[in-house]
């Protein structure tokens, strides 16, 4: 029997063998034996029987007389309850939908766990970056974390919105909560840009790993920032979903992230102002991600020393104009 708490239940249902409890009854009861034969006939057709709320009154009476619920169940009431046939096509279809949904969610979680460790799209773009598009990986601005970004200065230059990566940019890996020290900067960003602040992540909001949007909704609830739903994993894909969300061209938007070959490549390919932050925490990252990160930063530093520059930003010729010093601790 299924029970829920805090709700008034008018009907309960169960799927079990209704015959077993009756077998314990006295064989002298011809009335029960007659009902037993009928129940056997119904049970072979595979059905649910619902039991209305009057059964609760019956159960209370049984407890007063120290009777066993299973052995002294009111057969007449069971027989009169409403059947739900399991071979009903509509019922089968609903069950199949529910099972498919659970299976898809389980598989999505597995793919997300693997995908966040091995970014196939990222590896493919890495080849392109290393061989012919090295400037894609060069950020317009590099800071330790977002506390060093002057949001008001960026707004004054003509930028209309900010797009954040999630893991190791706003939160430590796989967490929903903002990293404490940057909370004030996030609030400052929202105060300057209003509702034109969003998260664009390769976990929450990505259709492949978050098909029902539950991760995106959970993150939105905790940090108070909209998560953009999208179909293609960074660094691949266009800026279409982001531009639709903000209602402006990507050249007026800022992409902030901690991965050069993911966030920065995606932003530069699509015309954003790109800001690279240092990771908030390496302790929660998988080993393979930490090793790839070392390679990425080594390449960026090497190319930067050789004078490689990112694509020019029309609105911000000198990104250092939007860097601020933190007050002394």
Show the domains of the chain with their CATH numbers: 11-85 (no CATH), 132-322 (3.40.50.1000)
The whole-model pTM stands at 0.65
Q: Which residues, 6+ apart, have CB-to-CB distance to 74 below 8 Å? A: 55, 58
Between these two residues, 50 and 324, which has the higher pLDDT value? 324
64 pLDDT above the threshold of 80 = no
Backbone angles phi, psi at 126, to 5 degrees: -60, -40
Beta bridge partners of 50: 13
- The pLDDT score that the predictor gives to residue 31 is 47
Other CB atoms within 10 Å distance of the CB of residue 29: 13
Average pLDDT over the chain, rounded to an integer:
75
18 pLDDT above the threshold of 70 = no
What is the rounded distance in angstroms from the CA atom of residue 245 to the CA atom of residue 108? Answer: 25
- The pLDDT score that the predictor gives to residue 121 is 64
Q: Which residue, 57, 54, 35, 43, is CA-closest to 14?
A: 43
Res. 279 pLDDT band, cuts 50 70 90: very high
What is the rounded distance in angstroms from the CA atom of residue 170 to the CA atom of residue 177? Answer: 8
């Amino acid at each position: 029997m299924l029970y829920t708490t805090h709700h008034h239940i008018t009907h309960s249902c169960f799927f079990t063998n209704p015959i077993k409890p009756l077998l314990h009854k006295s064989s002298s009861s011809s009335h029960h034996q007659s009902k037993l034969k009928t129940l056997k006939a119904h049970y072979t057709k595979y059905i649910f029987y619902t039991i209305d709320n009057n059964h609760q009154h019956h159960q209370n009476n049984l407890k007063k007389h120290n009777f066993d619920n299973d052995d002294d169940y009111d057969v007449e009431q069971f027989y009169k309850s409403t059947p739900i046939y399991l071979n009903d096509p509509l019922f089968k279809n609903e069950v199949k939908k529910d099972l498919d949904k659970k299976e898809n969610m389980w598989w999505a979680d597995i793919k997300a766990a693997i995908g966040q460790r091995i970014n196939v799209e990222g590896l493919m773009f890495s080849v392109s970056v290393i061989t012919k598009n090295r400037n894609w990986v060069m950020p317009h601005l590099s800071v330790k974390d977002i506390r060093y970004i002057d949001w008001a200065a960026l707004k004054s230059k003509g930028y209309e919105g900010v797009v954040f990566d999630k893991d190791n940019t706003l939160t430590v890996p796989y967490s929903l909560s903002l990293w404490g020290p940057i909370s004030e900067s996030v609030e400052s960003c929202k105060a300057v840009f209003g509702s034109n602040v969003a998260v664009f992540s390769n976990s929450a909001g990505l259709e492949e790993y978050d098909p029902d949007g539950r991760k995106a909704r959970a993150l939105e609830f905790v940090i108070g920032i909209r998560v953009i739903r999208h179909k293609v994993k960074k660094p691949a894909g266009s800026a279409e979903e982001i531009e639709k969300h903000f209602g402006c061209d990507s050249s007026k938007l800022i992409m902030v992230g901690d991965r050069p070959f993911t966030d920065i490549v995606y932003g530069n390919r699509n015309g954003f102002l790109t800001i690279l932050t240092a990771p908030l925490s390496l302790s929660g990252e998988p080993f393979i991600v930490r090793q790839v990160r070392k390679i990425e930063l080594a390449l960026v530093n090497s190319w930067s020393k050789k004078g490689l520059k990112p694509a020019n930003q029309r609105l911000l010729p000198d990104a250092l104009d939007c860097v601020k010093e933190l007050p002394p601790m």
